[in-house]
Structure 1
Amino acid sequence: WWIPTVGLGLVVLVLLWGWLKPGPAAQAPARVESVPTGARVMFDGQELAERTPVTLPAMPEGRYSLVLSREGYQELRTELEVQATGPVPLGVLRLVPVVQQAHVPETPPVAVENAPPAQEPAAVAKVRLRVEAQPAQAVVIVDGRPQGAAPVMLEAAPGVALAVRVEAAKHQPSERTVTVGSGPEQVERFTLHPEARVAPPVTPPRPPRQESRAETRTAKVRFAVRPWAEVTCGGKKLGETPFEAVELRVGTYDCKFFNPDLKKTLSRRIEVKAIDLNVVSVKFE
């Protein structure tokens, strides 16, 4: 009777382990909110069916374009950055109303003496352009003029093209043309890559010092040893006699002559002269 009980207990443990086992951490979704609400959302080039406020679908790490539009308001363009830790919050996006001019029926011109001068057209609302950079504190240059360390906030008319360059120490600069959109706010991000390490220049070795002419002259030396010996001159072993004449620099040498059979070593100081052949005779007594 205990076998069914043990089996039932194992089933209960397996179910509890499956229920309590922690699952993978879910990435926080990106939330898009606007004032006023009900704006159309164009995300990464595709229009969503929902209107703001809306929760965007999960997405891999990267940057994505985001465009909000609503009748009677200016279009807002920005970017959504998704990092490994999740999307960067956008905050509440505020739409700017479109200023509508009253329609005036056309009338034929009437000549009026001392008519007041015509009024200039209303100034076009400028767009707030925010330039961000990675790493932080990178220098932002717009149309050749430094604007300070990032992030930098600028104002420009819609449709204006700006040459934006971002520089930072030990990083490769980044430059591109930014066209100002029609929205009240626009964000442009620049990511700089570190410079490749450059190996230090290799200093060529110094040429050997030219020795004096007397030190570079050589002459042939032949060793005549009886009966025979191992010859060492100036600490360099020359060989066992008999051997061919060798080339030595002109000068004085301390030579040793060792005969293993006789177990004797003779020491001689020889002078190599600048002649055709120097003959050194050594005889073991």
Structure 2
Amino acid sequence: MTDVTDLIKLIALKEINPTQFVGYSKTVGSPNVFGGQVLAQALNAASRTITNKRVLHSMHSYFLEAGDLEQPILYTVNITRDGGSFSVRRITAEQNGVTIFILSASFQNQEEGHNHQISMDAHVKQPEELMSWTEILEQFGDMIPKKMKGFLEVERPVEFKPVQIVNPLNTEDLPATTNVWFKLNGDASTVDLAMKQQILTYVSDYNILGTAMNRHASKAHWGNTQTASLDHSMWYFRDFDFDDWMLYAMETPNSSSARGLATGNIFTRDGVLIASVAQEGLMRPKS
């Protein structure tokens, strides 16, 4: 995939019947299905059963089994509730009869109410001051570990610019916060809100577990640690456009019991809070 058009084609599922859909996978450089892909596709399935113009406001999910890149994924939607203001859907994702993922999503009538948000860091470096993953690969490719280099070499529909470049050769613990700017490749100006939320969810699975890993960088890295996303929750606050860089500000409040927790807030360039994210991941030291 090289641009947002490819990403939309990946997320938009083929309908089998009104509550069942099938999707296919594209690698992001790992041997298993990317969690962000399953999240976005499951939300696409759920939104296809919403006929009352309600808008997604939250979702909560669990990754149960690693997904096979070569096998189609069957998404089944349970229409759990259509109330006076909210609609709830429960989605299961299966491969070869095995449930690999479950997600619950809630949709709400568009309403007016009280409004507040946290502020974006006013001193964060702007994307024009930073190097993208592509530029990092071009400049430091010969010094990057083979596994990480292979990951960076995969073409993506989104470009990332980390505010802090992590040197994998440095063995020192890093701060509990990570800031990454991101921008879609291509034009997304005609995409509706439901698809924008699905794309945002896809992007939200990048970088977040690394925030928890970085806190232990003096002894933990991707080569000596078994990692996997365990769950992923997200709350959607406001409409937005993908016409500029957006900031994903992440932090890790805890790691224990071979698990790491990371949370994140996604802002527009001008500081509007779009969504919040929480994910716990497996961080098991290899013996």
Fold match (TM-score > 0.5):
no
Q: Could you tell me the TM-score, scaled by structure 2's length? A: 0.21
Larger Rg: 1
Identify, as 1 or 2, the structure richer in helix.
2
Structure ranking higher in strand proportion: 1
- Larger RCO: Structure 1 or Structure 2 (Cα < 8 Å, ≥ 6 residues apart)? 2
